[in-house]
Amino acid sequence: MQRIAFILFILIVEFSKLNAQEFDSTNIYFRALTLHMKYWNDFNNKRTDLVKKPEVYYIEQNEFITRNFPTEICGQRIEILSAEEIYKKTKNRKHIGLVVVRPASWRNGKLTINVVDVGVSRKNRHYYYLTSGGSEFQIIGDSTESKIGLKILFQGGI
């Protein structure tokens, strides 16, 4: 009986680990999004008359990039939206703000990550995206410490 209780206890602990929200803070995409959001939070604190900070930042879901992102970054709530959820939120021509984290790509001999702010609306099944700014980061490596970092190439908006 004690063995069964012990095995059951171990199974419950292991199962709870699967359901716990764990994320890797060294994830380069998470770090890029964090720097991007920090930029907008700092900008909003300086110019509250220009930008209204949303209650929740919507992030476009990407199977590989946004996996296991936390629900809060820089003190701001975030919500990862699937294509279906974006479809529902843009019902009746509603407009939502969306942050899109693009996969790393080579540009001008540099490995870069782009985080783009877009406005999304929809009429019937046609989506309309309006880019309103973003950030571009260069992925840099430190060979002495075997670490990967980000260098800000651009941050801003329209």
Encoded amino acid at 51, one letter:
V
What residues contact 5, with CB distance under 8 A and at least 6 apart? none
Separation of alpha carbons 125 and 156, rounded Å: 30
Q: What's the pLDDT at 58?
A: 95
Q: What backbone torsions phi and psi does residue 109 show, to the nearest 5 degrees? A: 75, 10
| Cα angle 128, 62, 140; round to 5 | 110
Per-residue pLDDT of the chain (158 residues; tens, 9 = 90+): 555 545 544 545 454 444 434 556 678 999 999 999 999 888 888 888 877 788 899 999 998 899 888 999 888 899 999 999 999 999 988 999 999 999 999 988 889 999 999 999 998 888 899 998 899 999 988 766 667 888 888 888 76
What residues contact 37, with CB distance under 8 A and at least 6 apart? 57, 73, 74, 76, 99
Helices (runs of H) and strands (runs of E) counted in the chain: 3, 8
Instruction: Give the DSSP letter string of 116-147.
Output: EEEEEEEETTEEEEEEEEEEEEEEEEETTTTE
Q: What is the pTM of this model?
A: 0.78
Length of the chain, please? Answer: 158
Q: What's the pLDDT at 44?
A: 85
Q: What's the pLDDT at 9?
A: 47
**Are 116 and 99 in contact, with CB atoms under 8 Å apart?**
yes
